A = this chain, B = another copy of it.
C-alpha cells in the first residue's frame, strides 16, 4: 500500500539481471549431482579398478536403488556406460567432465584453506560450493593462489 495511486507492480523493470542470476544458480545445481557421480566413478575406476553401484551408493550416502536410477540418467546423457551386473564406466565425455570437476574441486579447497578455513570445513563446504563456481571465478582463484605462492 506504499505505492502511489496509478502505479502497479508492472512499472518495475522486471529485474531481468537478478532473475537471470537466480535462474543460473538453480540450473547449475541441477548438474551438481551428475558431477558428483562422475567424479566418484572416475575415482573408483582409478583407485579400485571398478565402479559398482553399491560402492557408489555407499559413498554418496544414498540407497543403491537411487544410485542405479541416477546412473541410468548418466547413461542417457552420454556420460557413462554400463551393462547389467558389469559395473559402470565413463565415456570420453564423462572422463573429461570428471577431470574438470576434480581440478575445480582442488582449487576451491585450496582457496578455502588459503583464506583460513580449517581443513575439515574446507573439504565439506567445497563439496557444495564447487558446483556454483564459474570459470571466471575459478580463474581468479587460480591467480590468487599463485600470487601468494
| Chain A residues packing against B (C-beta within 8 Å) | 1-3, 9, 12, 14-15, 18-26, 28-29, 32-33, 36, 48-50, 52, 54-55, 58-61, 111-112, 115-118, 121-125, 127-129, 131-134, 136-137, 140-141, 143-144
This protein's copies in its complex:
2
The answer to whether B3 and A49 touch across the interface, beta carbons within 8 angstroms, is yes
CB of A110, distance to nearest CB on chain B (Å)? 11
Write out the residue numbers on chain B whose beta carbons fall within 8 Å of the beta carbon of A48. Answer: 2-3
The answer to whether A140 and B116 touch across the interface, beta carbons within 8 angstroms, is yes
Write out the residue numbers on chain B whose beta carbons fall within 8 Å of the beta carbon of A128. Answer: 24-25, 28-29, 131-132
The answer to whether B144 and A55 touch across the interface, beta carbons within 8 angstroms, is no
Contact pick for A129, options B20, B21, B129, CB 8 Å: B129
Among A24, A32, A121, which residue has the most Cβ atoms of chain B within 10 A? A121
Contact pick for A132, options B15, B18, B55, B129, CB 8 Å: B129
Contact pick for A125, options B2, B116, B122, B137, CB 8 Å: B137
